[in-house]
A and B are shown apart, each in its own frame.
Chain A
Amino acid sequence: MTTDLGDPVPVPGAGGGRFAGEPVLSIRDLSVAYRTMAGDVRAVDRVSMDLNPGEIVGLVGESGSGKSTLAYGATRLLRAPAVITGGSVQYQGRRMDTPVDVLQLSNSQLAGLRWREIAIVFQSAMNALNPVMSVRNQLTDVIRAHLRLPLRAATEKAAGLLDMVGIPRSRLHSYPHELSGGMRQRIMIAMALATDPEVVIMDEPTTALDVVVQREILGQILELKERLGFAILFITHDLSLLLELADRIAVMYAGQLMEIGTAAEIHHEPSHPYTKRLLHSFPALRGPRKDLTGIPGTPPDLHSPPPGCPFLPRCTEGTDACSRIEVRLSRVTSSADPEHLTACPFVLPDRPDAAASGSAVSVRPSTEELTT
């Protein structure tokens, strides 16, 4: 019996939807390994995803799930012992005539791409600023290196950047230790936006900040995004934040994507058991008190990952067949959105009418086919 397994796996985000046009960044089958004495650790395993212009994609996962490695791999910021073992990363900016494959670029081409086209706000920005350089010097450094402006113009631009993120110009002469955590984080964002990039990767930009400041900064990020039109890949372990902030959410576990869909789909019709457990991991401030379960257990050791689905040891819905599947994304049959993808082929959809729905083409293999 023929199954639909042979069909090309739909690519998340490729269909456009709200964000029509070519994706600005498209990652295909990217794999990253850490070379160690004990063998390779597959930190990122054949991950494909798209980022459309002006879109916020949230990448969520536990520590060690590979979310940062994925982002740094896609921008070639990884250092040994990390090696990219396969895949491609197409970048197509408005300022470019033809798309480029980031993984094939020479070092000098890469230097032109970085910051100018793809900028990064690093984790723990509090410590990413140079403590012995004034804010002005750090900002003008970037501006002069990437935009080749004379000092006077660069200083003027630096002041403009501070205006943009709501910090008084007098702070140009401050050193990092004289600024609050929130201000330092804003300066990191200003610095990333200094060259008007098309893609900004934000790696846990607000994790070290308290909620009120976090909210102010997120509001500011959204405002700047609307105004300047860049796309954001937002990395965090806080799913509750992404539900509110992101357009689409990709859930990562043990180096692989487990589910990808719009924020509303992830929130209201999660398909993968891991996503469901994540949704029950944070206490909600509003609404009735619900039972919180968390996710007992720890992620697998990627030195010797378990066969089949990596979430199986912690999954309450797993079966024997789960240890024999090959993890791949396929359409959530119960979802009206063809781009809502899940890596779990077994769990029945929550919606009772889903089984009867004939509109969606099933790409879920039956248990029988998988076990033979």
Chain B
Amino acid sequence: MSSQAADEQRPAVLESAAAARGTLVLEAAGLTKDFRLGRGQILHAVRDVSIRLYRGAVVALVGESGSGKSTAARMLAGQEHPSAGTIRLNDQLVELSGRRAFRRYKSEVQLVFQDPFASLNPAHTVRHHIERPLRLHRGQLSKDELWKQAAALMDQVRLTPAENFLAKYPHELSGGQRQRVSFARALAANPSVLLADEPVSMLDVSIRLEMLALLDDLRQRFQLALLYITHDIASARYFADEILVMYAGQVVERGPAEDVTQQPAHPYSQLLVSSAPDPDNLGAALRNGTGRDGRQPGSAGSPPENACQFSARCPLAIDRCRAEAPPLLQISSSRAAACWRLDAAAPSLYAGGEGGGNVTS
């Protein structure tokens, strides 16, 4: 029974599907970011998000535009100060006061941006883009050594022959090649954590797979802990170990990638999955108008602060959803969803569960 399950105050730590791959590197707990909009309005961009990244594993953050996934990544990258919550790197509390601390953190945690057309400086060569982080993060290097390391990085991202590509300017490169430069630049710091914010969504479909394969290869070779941010849940299925589904700043569901994509529990995850193109359906779902409700969170008529943020768009919403925001409720040892109506939304999963419980992560 759903209500009973929630009333049990028995916080348990949820296992991560990514934990099997390696050791915990980056742990964010209760990350929250509020933006003041003026006139006393506050935008809750990220609410109480907990993410754990493990070496050699991929965690995907999936959600629509405006769901707060990029803000969460920027906080993890140390580029945005959380309104609340903590970040621990290798079990050390991260305090980003001062340039030195920031630089030390950056040498461990790197961010790759979405748009390779905007993230490279058009006035500088590829060499400049690669050598600068090398100089910043790898200490004093001789000119020769610098060149050698830059060339080695180009090899890693398969931009060969390296000397040709190092001499080029961004406008001489294709989108895929530019994104490879972005990867090489991030790797120059020799990080243990890579945060990739929609790294392939600006690229052609035929190139996307190649880039994801490259990213996966780099993950393996450098034992990187990867956060993969995307709105394409199908690519997360193939690429990630664990998926976190975000809606209106909140993680509404988390669990092993295959489970979440094949049997989504939260009504929003279900909407996301049913919105993906389905070639086998040949338009049937489109013509039936599945999921035709354009109300975005934060638009007029959005639910009050303490309600489930999805309740306005949710076909299963009951009074309780509009009055009380559900916490993440455990479904299995490694899965949880924030929904009061799990009994109706995912009866097969729910019946199998041990009654669930409030989880902290």
Contact = CB atoms under 8 A, between A and B. Distances in A.
Interface of A: 62-63, 166, 180-182, 209-216, 218-220, 222-223, 237-241, 243-245, 263-264, 267, 277-278, 281-287, 289, 292-296, 298
Contact of A240 (B213, B231, B279): B279
Interface in B226-255: 231-235, 237-239
Nearest to A240: B277
A222 B206 contact: no
B348 interface: no
Contacts of B271: 212
A284 B293 CA distance: 24
Interface string B145-185: 00000000000000000000000000000111000000000
A181 B206 CA distance: 25
A64 to B, nearest CB: 9
Contacts of A292: 209, 238
A222 B283 contact: yes
Given A211-B232, A215-B291, A240-B277, 6 more contacts: A180-B299, A211-B64, A215-B290, A219-B289, A219-B290, A282-B205
Task: Report the 10 A-B pairs with minimum CB-CB distance, sorted nearest first.
Answer: A294-B209, A243-B279, A285-B234, A215-B275, A210-B231, A283-B238, A210-B64, A240-B277, A211-B275, A295-B206
Question: Among B176, B233, B283, which residue has the most Cβ atoms of chain A within 10 A?
Answer: B283
A62 B291 contact: no
Contacts of A166: 294
A211 B289 contact: no
A238 B277 contact: yes
B209 A237 contact: no
B64 A278 contact: no
Question: Among A63, A214, A222, which residue has the most Cβ atoms of chain B within 10 A?
Answer: A63
A164 to B, nearest CB: 14
A281 B283 contact: no
Contact of A284 (B176, B234, B239, B291): B234
Given A210-B64, A294-B210, A298-B174, A239 B205 contact: yes
Contacts of B42: none
A139 to B, nearest CB: 19
Contact of B292 (A216, A282, A296): A216
A289 B209 CA distance: 14
5 contacts: A211-B276, A215-B275, A282-B205, A294-B213, A296-B210
Given A181-B65, A212-B271, A244 B283 contact: yes
A218 B286 contact: yes
B64 A294 contact: no
B192 interface: no
A281 B210 CA distance: 9
Contact of A283 (B204, B237, B286): B237
Contacts of B125: none
B7 interface: no
Q: Interface SS of chain B: helix, strand, loop or mixed?
A: helix
B231 to A, nearest CB: 4
A322 B218 CA distance: 36
A34 to B, nearest CB: 17
B294 A238 contact: no
Contacts of A281: 205-206, 208-209
Given A240-B277, A285-B261, A298-B174, A213 B294 contact: yes
B83 to A, nearest CB: 24
Question: Among B175, B273, B278, B293, which residue has the most Cβ atoms of chain A within 10 A?
Answer: B278
B281 interface: yes
B120 interface: no
A238 B204 CA distance: 8
Contact of B286 (A222, A240, A298): A222
B99 interface: no
A182 B294 contact: yes
A287 B262 CA distance: 9
Contact of B205 (A211, A244, A278, A289): A278
A244 B277 contact: yes
B286 A219 contact: yes
A293 B205 CA distance: 12
B203 to A, nearest CB: 9
Given A182-B294, A223-B289, A285 B273 contact: yes
A355 B291 CA distance: 45
B282 interface: yes
Given A241-B277, A292-B209, A215 B286 contact: yes
B296 interface: yes
Contact of A244 (B64, B286, B292): B286
Given A213-B294, A223-B289, A298-B174, A283 B205 contact: no
B38 to A, nearest CB: 15
B112 interface: no
A51 B295 CA distance: 35
Interface string B184-200: 00000000000000000
Contact of B291 (A182, A212, A241, A295): A212
A216 B271 CA distance: 11
Given A281-B206, A282-B234, A219 B277 contact: no
A62 B277 contact: no
Contacts of B286: 215, 218-219, 222, 244-245
Contacts of A243: 277, 279, 282
B279 A210 contact: no
A137 B303 CA distance: 33
A214 B283 contact: no
Contact of B278 (A214, A244, A293): A244
Question: Among A210, A222, A293, which residue has the most Cβ atoms of chain B within 10 A?
Answer: A210
A211 B231 contact: yes
B225 interface: no
Interface in B257-311: 258, 261, 271-273, 275-283, 285-287, 289-294, 296, 299
A287 B258 CA distance: 11
Contacts of B258: 289
A245 B232 contact: no
A286 B209 contact: no
A294 B237 CA distance: 16
A284 B237 CA distance: 9
Nearest to A296: B210
Nearest to A267: B279
B64 A212 contact: yes
Interface in B59-111: 64-65
